[in-house]
Structure 1
Amino acid sequence: MKAINLADKLSQFSDHWSPRIVGQYNGNDLMVVKVEGEFTWHSHPDTDDFFLVLKGEIDIEMREGTVTLREGEMFVVPKGVEHRPVARQEAHLLLIEPAGTPNTGDAETAAEKVAL
């Protein structure tokens, strides 16, 4: 057992929109991801979607409006709500979701989650 340094984990890769699993918590994947540009519109029918900004700024666009998140801020998109994360410049996030949950809500279009 040892502490997990998120900055160290983030320094180990450079690609965007490809979450890396850094731990597990009660059946949930704890992931870091680098993002830049627009992600696809999607929803998760069975789970909420948790975002915590570690570095930078992102917009969580929803059909009902947009939530802007800055460093240290978090937001939970309720299950079933269609949304699209957008980062105008590179941002680093911590994501928490049930293990095996596809990041697009659809296993056929989801990015593969890699363990670090």
Structure 2
Amino acid sequence: MALLKSLIWFVLSLALFLPTANADEQKPQLILEQKADKARIDFLQVEQLQLDKARKAAKETVEREEKVSGTLQTNEWEEQQKIKAKKQFDEMESREQKYLREAKDAVAKERKIIPKP
């Protein structure tokens, strides 16, 4: 009978201890799973934030490049216009010089052709 009592106590204590031990083991596992899930979520949020920052930086870079490119094209156009204006001015000056030279030659020839006695 004593053996039976001790066996019953042993079985009862095991029955009480095992579910408690199992619950204690499950609780840390749930906590670890929750931490892992939170870490995954945090990682995805950080990754998304970094992607957004990279997209924004790329967009700003493209905008700056377009602005600089537009400025360079404007400067090239201005330079072309200056060259064109200088060429036209030189041609006009050359024509004026030609007309003056022809006028001087004509005046000199008229004097030589018609001498006054």
TM-score, normalised with respect to structure 2: 0.10
Higher share in strand: 1
Structure number with higher relative contact order (C-alpha < 8 Å, ≥ 6 residues apart)? 1
TM-score, normalised with respect to structure 1: 0.10
Larger radius of gyration: 2
